[in-house]
Amino acid sequence: MLLQSGLSVLALVAPISAVLFWLTIPTGTWQPVAIAQGVLVAICALAYLAFTRTIIRVDADGISERGFLGRVASFSTAEVGSVVLLDLYQSGALDTQPQLFVTGTDGRLLVRMRGQYYSRGAMDTVIDQLAVPVVRVPEPMTLQDLNRARPELLYWFERRLTGRTG
């Protein structure tokens, strides 16, 4: 995934940069283009570093996650209530990806593992290490289905008004 993202950024930036340099070098105004390109490279390097530092650790004491922005969230085994494992359809496709949700004893979402970033084996390791009840949803779900059934498992920006009452 990281390689694909890098190639996508390169495919977008390289032609634009080439044209901007081609237009500005003859007039001697290429320095702002070079500065902007340097800033873009620095942003990409920071994003790469943040991606490689993202980790989920699980042991007998509990589970902790260092997110993309560096925030660390730790939860003891006493706080973990259950694990929900399901396959979620990708938007506009027939392919599914596994999703693992670690929920607290109060039902709130503690940690989410998405199939885009974590393998099924990594999810199974978390399940084995936590030793809490596991809910395995037998049929794949759409994001809309999950939003109707368990909206608390989704990030705020994934939740939609569904006309659900009660």
4-28 tens-digit pLDDT: 777 888 888 889 999 999 999 999 9
Q: pLDDT tens digits, residue range 74-133?
A: 999 899 999 999 999 887 778 899 999 999 999 899 999 999 889 999 999 999 999 899
> Is 11 in a helix, a strand, or coil?
helix
Q: Confirm if 140 and 98 have CB atoms less than 8 A apart.
A: no
Per-residue pLDDT at 161 exceeds 70:
no
Q: Find the helix or strand (DSSP H, E) in which 111 lies.
A: strand 109-114
- The dihedral over CA atoms of 24, 29, 34, 39, expressed in degrees to the nearest 10, equals -120
pLDDT of res. 48 = 87
> Is 116 in a helix, a strand, or coil?
coil
Per-residue pLDDT at 39 exceeds 90:
yes
In 52-108, DSSP assigns E strands to: 55-59, 62-66, 72-76, 80-89, 96-104
From edge to edge, which strands make up the β-sheet containing 72-76?
Answer: 55-59, 62-66, 72-76
User: What φ, ψ does residue 51 adopt, rounded to 5°?
Assistant: -65, -45
pLDDT of res. 158 = 82
Q: Confirm if 104 and 81 have CB atoms less than 8 A apart.
A: yes
User: What φ, ψ does residue 88 adopt, rounded to 5°?
Assistant: -115, 130
